[in-house]
Amino acid sequence: MKVFSICICASILFACTSKNILPEYKEFRNYPNENRVNHNGSVFQYYFIKNAPKDNDELRLYTDKVVKELMVYKFNDTLKRVSFFFFTDRESVFWGVDESYHSNRSGVEDYNNPRRAEYSCYLDKKNKIRLITTIYKNERASIPSIIYSKSKIIKDEK
Amino acid sequence: VFWGVTTSGEDCDDTLPDGKYAQTDCTKVDWIIDKDGDGAWSQSVKKYPNWNSSEVGVPDAEFWKKKSDLPNAEGIDCKDDDPKYKYANLSVSLTVNNSSQVGTGADFQSGDLLNFQGIHDVINGSDLEFGEKIEAHKNTYFDELYDKFMDEDDYIKNLRDFAEWTTFNDDLVNEMIYRFLQGDSSGHYTSNNLTQAMLESDGYDSFRSGLIRLIKDKIINDVTKGNRHIIITDLGGPTFDTNGGLFSWNGSHSSNLEVSNFVINCNTFSMTATLTMYDHFGLDNTDLYSQPFGLSGVAEFIARRSKAIRGWFILQRVKGYKPFISEVTTSINISNESF
């Protein structure tokens, strides 16, 4: 009976721990996004990914999908570039970042909470919409290392 | 003798009917189309020490024919079948596109809370847990009580004590507190003392090497013949999580890099640029209750309970002392750095 109970408990524990929790992107509570176009004609959007995949390729697949959803902007003479930044929890249990975001500078990014993924869409000289995807290493650095970068045309006309 | 050409038209590697080279002991530059056929050209320098040399250059006819096929050919590249190798003497521009303008933001407000009730409102609107809010409200009631017995000098003394524990040097603390007391938000605070301390710091070294690495990544991944432009989005700056710069320079607001010359040559690049780093000497709402200055452990415990930060917050946000912008400028000159 004891063995049976232990097996049940172990099964429940395994079921709970192995449950695949889906990632979810959220705005930072302390730094909500504004659709403000800055003097360079850019809009910047920041998101925190809850339950982010640890694997960089999996993360990119997820953020690729998210950017397709979020890229609803139409370029014009005022808006020339849209950049999406994604941040995830860091590995350390002592320095965890949550969606409220504790930053030690007046923005969402700092030494403790570096960016993980950056997507920049812009209208190039040939009037084509180009997307630059950059995935950063999950490291505690002012400027984290790039581990993946690709530039591609996603649309022929604006 | 241009390229070793004889009066009859032959040059170094042109063999005469008797099997001898037209010129001996000369150097000839041959031009050959590069491997990827992108219209760039490679130089091939061959030296013909004597007529017995077995070396034979690329026939001239080959060169002229191909050059006429590609009249718009430009530049000379290196091993451009390897994407890491870019073009020779390719001028590139670089722009930094930052999301927020210096001198704006939540940490650049002053006198916006009007009174201590404003601080209670900030706490109520925060994402602190219930117990943490109670603690924060209690501290604020005590602050309000102490305020009746404190004058500006007392606040500044607390701030100075804390600052001397967490910054580059005491002289710099005095300079920055003096600037804070002047109440001048216009113009940027620059100081030889601050500049020297910043440029000698580990935080700056780390930022500079990260920036150069980022530029190298951008060269490899973004720069093509059609796109000779590098864009860096939201460039931060040096940050400090240990004693050394917390008070005088914590997490940078942003940085700007103005490039006057940027040339890629094969697998190296050279750049002449001016880097300007900005920080706000000011506190936003989260500085009142969140992890102060990104500190942890004992340092966080001390900083959280320090009257200095709350006093600074009161001076700026309630009593209307003005934050200011600190600025450090330096040049970054890189010559033939491999990427």
Predicted complex ipTM = 0.75
Which residues on neighbouring strands pair with residue B47, listed in sequence order? B27
Q: How many CB pairs under 8 A join A and B?
A: 114
Structure tokens at B11: 């040059």
φ/ψ (deg, to 5) at B208:
-60, -45
pLDDT at B90 over 70: yes
pTM to 2 decimal places: 0.76
- List CB contacts of B244: < 8 A, sequence separation 6 or more: B167, B168, B201, B202, B203
CA angle B163, B284, A28 (to 5 degrees): 130
Q: Which residue has the higher pLDDT, B309 or B213?
A: B213
Contact A124 B227 (CB under 8 A): yes
B276 close to B288: Cβ distance less than 8 angstroms: no
In this prediction, residue A12 carries a pLDDT of 52
- List CB contacts of B91: < 8 A, sequence separation 6 or more: B228, B262, B263
For residues B48 and B27, what is the distance between their CA atoms, to the nearest angstrom? Answer: 6
Residue with tokens 């750049």: B271
B77 close to B46: Cβ distance less than 8 angstroms: no
Which positions 289-308 of B are in contact with A (Cβ < 8 Å)? 290-291, 293-294, 296
Contact A142 B239 (CB under 8 A): yes
Contact A102 B127 (CB under 8 A): no
Instruction: Encode pLDDT of A5-44 as tens digits.
Output: 655 555 555 444 445 688 999 888 777 888 889 888 899 9
For residues B254 and B203, what is the distance between their CA atoms, to the nearest angstrom? Answer: 14
Contact A110 B222 (CB under 8 A): no
Structure tokens at A125: 């000289």
In this prediction, residue B2 carries a pLDDT of 44
Which positions in chain B touch A40 (Cβ < 8 Å)? 95, 97
Number of Cβ atoms within 10 Å of the Cβ of B206? 17
B143 close to B116: Cβ distance less than 8 angstroms: yes
Which positions in chain A touch B284 (Cβ < 8 Å)? 106
Of B99, B240, B291, nearest to A38 by CB-CB distance is B99
Which positions 215-234 of B are in contact with A (Cβ < 8 Å)? 217-218, 220-222, 227, 231, 233-234
Structure tokens at A114: 């570096």
pLDDT at B5 over 60: no
Which residues on neighbouring strands pair with residue B240, listed in sequence order? none
For residues A89 and B334, what is the distance between their CA atoms, to the nearest angstrom? Answer: 35
CA A121 to chain B, closest CA, distance in angstroms equals 12
Contact B106 A111 (CB under 8 A): no
Which positions in chain A touch B100 (Cβ < 8 Å)? 38, 106-107
Instruction: Encode pLDDT of A94-116 as tens digits.
Output: 445 555 666 655 667 766 677 89
Instruction: Encode pLDDT of A53-79 as tens digits.
Output: 888 999 999 999 999 999 999 998 899
**CA distance from start to end of chain B:** 38
Mean pLDDT for B290-307 is 66
In this prediction, residue B29 carries a pLDDT of 53
pLDDT band at B320, cuts 50/70/90?
very high
HSE value, Cβ hemisphere, 13 Å, CA-based, for B69: 13
In this prediction, residue A20 carries a pLDDT of 61
pLDDT at B331 over 60: yes
Which residues on neighbouring strands pair with residue B270, listed in sequence order? B263
CA distances from B162 to B34, B110, B196, B240, B246 (A): 63, 21, 22, 16, 10
For residues B149 and A15, what is the distance between their CA atoms, to the nearest angstrom? Answer: 60
| SS3 annotation, chain B | CHHHCCCCCCCCCCECCCCCECCCCEEEEEEEECCCCCCCEEEEEEEECCCCCCCCCCCHHHHHHHHHHCCCCCCEECCCCCCCCCEECEECEEEEECCCCCCCCHHHCCCCCCCHHHHHHHHHCCCCCHHHHHHHHHHHHHHHHHHCCCCHHHHHHHHHHHHHHCCCCHHHHHHHHHHHHHCCCCCEECCHHHHHHHHCCHHHHHHHHHHHHHHHHHHHHHCCCCCCEEEEECCCCCECCCCCCCCCCCECCEEEEEEEEEEEECCEEEEEEEEEEEEEECCCHHHHHCCHHHCCHHHHHHHHHCHHHHHHHHHHHHCCCCCEEEEEEEEEEEEEEEC
Mean pLDDT for B117-127 is 89
pLDDT at A129 over 80: yes
Of B105, B233, B254, nearest to A118 by CB-CB distance is B233
